[in-house]
């Protein structure tokens, strides 16, 4: 494993901060599967890890989302990441979606997540590393507030929740791009990131820049304020032990909760099952369907199959097969 020397520390502060982050989290020397789309953030992730970790402990992973409006860009990005891994002498793995066109952010995210989890197990890596940064966290919290998913949604993205590791949450996108410019490293720009029809893109390109222009420093202050609010939100423990991609609660306990407590528990349960994007309306519809006197029934909603028995209510994530 390589330690940043004094000159390297002075020139490339991002690499040193990553080294310190790994030390703090007790992850130095572990095996990392580095998710890389070819965009600036994930390219900075690959370059920084290659600078501070032994290459034998790293593997670069790329997911091609298949044909669609951005098909030509996706081919270009795949070749770019292949070349990046080769130039850095890093192991590389990729998958290409060959089924129906993936539509929407959630479908693409689920496709990536399934393959990354499979590869982590196949290659016995300790963590899957993604390049989420501070503004990703801010945008995610704002989106969840808009969707009305409850106070638990403010907790958003953790730095380390095995096997997922996000060491750049304390970095801004400007810092990541500045690092790439210092080392003369190019990256790919995804044209879909410019489409304002997506709420995340509209926040990133319109609302947040307008807020920052009107009151400089607002983005940072808003991010810190939401972080403080998130820290004050009490954590709700799961009522019963739950398996991966599922959540369950005893029906007798469910009956003791108020409607507000039930909605909050449903939000916790969906996240535990692996559903990241859901709305207040979906929570209320699930609650309505669960408020019955029937003993045994099931239904599908918000990406989960809900099974209700005499003793237990369970939600299990619907996982599409890998293609």
- Based on the fold, state whether residues 170 and 266 are members of the same structural domain: no
Segment 289-316 mean pLDDT: 86
- Based on the fold, state whether residues 47 and 186 are members of the same structural domain: yes
C-alpha to C-alpha distance for 153 and 149, rounded to whole angstroms: 6
Segment 272-289 mean pLDDT: 84
- Based on the fold, state whether residues 148 and 32 are members of the same structural domain: yes
First and final CA of the chain: distance in angstroms? 36
- Domain-ending residue, one of 159, 194, 229: 194
* φ and ψ at residue 217, rounded to 5 degrees: 90, 0
User: Is 199 inside any structural domain?
Assistant: no
pLDDT of 119: 95
C-alpha to C-alpha distance for 313 and 202, rounded to whole angstroms: 38
Question: Which domain, by its residues, includes 305?
Answer: 246-317
C-alpha to C-alpha distance for 313 and 299, rounded to whole angstroms: 11
Segment 118-143 mean pLDDT: 93
User: Is 218 inside any structural domain?
Assistant: no
Segment 119-123 mean pLDDT: 94
User: Is 217 inside any structural domain?
Assistant: no
- Based on the fold, state whether residues 274 and 156 are members of the same structural domain: no
Q: What percent of the chain has pLDDT over 70?
A: 86
- Based on the fold, state whether residues 31 and 123 are members of the same structural domain: yes
Among 24-28, 48-52, 94-98, the range scoring the smallest mean pLDDT is 94-98
- If one counts the domains in the chain, the total is 2
The pLDDT tens digits for 188-247 are 988 777 778 888 889 998 999 999 999 999 988 998 888 888 777 665 554 544 446 788
Whole-model pTM above 0.85?
A: no
User: Is 70 inside any structural domain?
Assistant: yes
Segment 168-180 mean pLDDT: 93
Indicate which CATH number applies to the domain containing 29.
3.40.50.620
Does the pLDDT of residue 82 top 60, yes or no?
yes
pLDDT of 271: 79
The pLDDT tens digits for 239-271 are 544 446 788 888 888 887 777 778 888 888 887
Among 42-51, 88-97, 140-149, 228-237, the range scoring the smallest mean pLDDT is 228-237
pLDDT of 291: 77
Segment 172-196 mean pLDDT: 89
Does the pLDDT of residue 103 top 70, yes or no?
no
Segment 153-176 mean pLDDT: 86
User: Is 71 inside any structural domain?
Assistant: yes
């Amino acid at each position: 494993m390589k330690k940043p020397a004094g000159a390297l520390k002075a020139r490339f502060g991002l690499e040193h901060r990553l080294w310190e982050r790994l030390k703090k989290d007790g992850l130095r020397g572990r095996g990392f599967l580095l998710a890389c789309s070819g965009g600036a953030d994930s390219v900075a992730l690959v370059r920084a890890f290659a600078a501070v970790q032994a290459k034998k402990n790293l593997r670069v992973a790329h997911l091609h989302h298949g044909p669609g409006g951005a098909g030509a860009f996706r081919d270009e990005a795949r070749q770019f990441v292949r070349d990046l891994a080769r130039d850095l002498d890093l192991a590389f793995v990729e998958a290409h979606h060959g089924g129906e066109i993936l539509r929407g952010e959630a479908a693409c995210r689920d496709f990536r997540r399934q393959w990354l989890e499979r590869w982590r197990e196949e290659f016995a890596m300790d963590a899957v590393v993604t390049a989420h940064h501070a503004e990703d966290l801010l945008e995610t919290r704002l989106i969840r507030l808009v969707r009305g998913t409850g106070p638990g949604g403010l907790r958003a993205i953790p730095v380390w929740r095995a096997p997922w590791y996000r060491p750049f949450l304390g970095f801004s996108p400007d810092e990541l791009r500045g690092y790439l410019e210092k080392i003369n490293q190019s990256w790919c720009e995804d044209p879909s990131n410019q489409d304002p029809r997506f709420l995340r893109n509209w926040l990133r390109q319109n609302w947040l820049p307008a807020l920052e222009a009107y009151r400089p420093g607002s983005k940072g202050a808003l991010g810190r304020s939401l972080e403080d609010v998130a820290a004050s939100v009490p954590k709700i423990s799961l009522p019963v032990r739950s398996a991966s991609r599922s959540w369950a609660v005893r029906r007798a306990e469910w009956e003791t909760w108020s409607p507000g407590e039930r909605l909050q528990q449903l939000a916790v349960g969906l996240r535990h099952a692996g559903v990241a994007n859901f709305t207040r309306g979906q929570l209320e519809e699930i609650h309505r369907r669960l408020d019955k006197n029937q003993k045994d029934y099931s239904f599908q909603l918000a990406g989960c199959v809900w099974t209700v028995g005499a003793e237990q209510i369970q939600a299990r994530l619907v996982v599409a097969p890998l293609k």
